Amino acid sequence: MAGTNVSINADQVLVIDGRKVFPIGFTMPPPPEGKTPSGKNGIKELSDAGATFLRTGVMGGPWNDAAIGKEKAYQDAAARYGMHCWVFLRELGSIEENAPGREAMLRKVVTTFRDHPGMGVWKGEDEPEWGRKPVPPLVRARQIIRELDTNHPIAVTHAPRGTLERLRPYNASADITGADIYPIGYPPGGHSLETNKEISMVGDYTRRMMEVADGKMPVWMILQIAWSGVIKTNKTLRIPTFPEERFMVYQAIINGARGLMFFGGHLPQAMNDRDKAHGWNWTFWDRVLRPVIEEIGAKSPLYPALLAPDSTIPVKCNSADVEFCVREVGSEIFLLACKRGGGTRQVEFSGLPRNTTGGKMLFESPRRVMVSNGRFGDWFAPYEVHVYQLQK
């Protein structure tokens, strides 16, 4: 199999070998040959649900020959099951002028995997602004990667910290930006330093990263399975419910995210004994994450809308706490909406084409909506999501 050619189109959508892809991945994924409790290969299980990416590379240690061997196993598994790898370069994402050993290892890693069919995107330095990492060594790492590999973009992920002025300089080291944000814990909202401690902070940080990107690069958001704020011995374990995870996913997409990763499925402190034996949080997957991925994944009726540009249809909503986006695919209009808080109320959407008659409410069958004169109404409870598939 030939290596992949990965690019980013004018709509900030990832394109792999000519095919648009919405990245949906996991940090870290199940082991390459790991099994679900039912005996199925774990990577195949993720792919079958509609996921598209694995965040691979090193975790907790440096790159060496053993790490390259492990990455090879992940790349092989990704290619086998129609997925791609987002490879964390860790210390190799920052190359000082006087670090020949580190540069040599970066060159070895890039040349080893640049032509692999499982290769997707490089992940550079993690949370560099929060770590006060100087920008020039990150730019030098990018230059070395570009010298060796022009077919795979580079992404840099930030912590939920920093101002626009401090974050934007790191854009010079990457083609994709984004942030991790984990709102679920006791007390709530401890991952953020901002005043909003509710789950709707996901949308706040997505919008911030959209400002950082300034329309010039995609934003990928990293969402919560589990994180250090809920697994340490002095913390209370709390992981998202299905409605919470679903809200975070849609709020990120509505506010501009062009890719989503889920962190913490590999953390043993958040696993029961059965899942520890299988090396991944399959209980959370079965109860929460798989149903969410099935709604947005590659096999979903919504998936084409996630690859489309934002529509220019001038839709309005009469409620300031309802966030929404509009996408068009052929003769269909997809309207994704969520309520970021407040009380339960009936809202109205207007501004749709006058020939729009109505359509399905995806994932809420048999509910439908009727559109009259470009308007329709619906009820929203706090943190509720509705997905409308309307016919022009």
Q: What is the mean pLDDT of residues 318-344?
A: 97
Q: What is the mean pLDDT of residues 296-309?
A: 98
Mean pLDDT of the chain: 97
340, pLDDT greater than 70: yes
CB atoms within 10 A of CB 359: 20
1, pLDDT greater than 90: no
Let me know if 60 is exposed, middle or buried by CB neighbors in 10 A (0-12, 13-18, 19+). exposed
Kindly report, residue by residue over 117-157, the tens digit of the pLDDT: 999 999 999 999 999 999 999 999 999 999 999 999 999 99
Rounded Cα gap, residues 152 and 76, in angstroms = 17
> CB-hemisphere CA count at 13 Å for 15?
10
CB atoms within 10 A of CB 197: 15
Residue 367 backbone dihedrals phi, psi, to 5 degrees:
-65, 140
Query: With pLDDT > 90 as the criterion, what percentage of the chain qualifies?
Result: 98
Read off the pLDDT band of 169 (50, 70, 90).
very high
Looking at residue 2, its pLDDT comes to: 81
H or E stretch at 24 = strand 24-27
Read off the pLDDT band of 202 (50, 70, 90).
very high
Looking at residue 323, its pLDDT comes to: 98
Tell me where in the chain the CATH 3.20.20.80 domain(s) lie.
Answer: 6-306
- Among the listed ranges 1-10, 65-74, 105-114, 322-331, which one has the minimum average pLDDT value? 1-10
By C-alpha distance, which of 115, 177, 117 is closest to 142? 177
44, pLDDT greater than 90: yes
Q: What is the mean pLDDT of residues 49-55?
A: 98
Kindly report, residue by residue over 232-243, the tens digit of the pLDDT: 999 999 999 999
Tell me where in the chain the CATH 2.60.40.1180 domain(s) lie.
Answer: 316-391
Q: What is the DSSP letter of 299?
A: T
Asked if residue 370 has a cis previous peptide bond (ω within 30° of 0), the answer is no
347, pLDDT greater than 70: yes
Kindly report, residue by residue over 249-301, the tens digit of the pLDDT: 999 999 999 999 999 999 999 999 999 999 999 999 999 999 999 999 999 99
User: Where does residue 241 fall: left (phi above 0), alpha (psi -120 to 50 degrees), or beta otherwise?
Assistant: beta
CATH class of 316-391: mainly beta
CATH class of 6-306: alpha beta
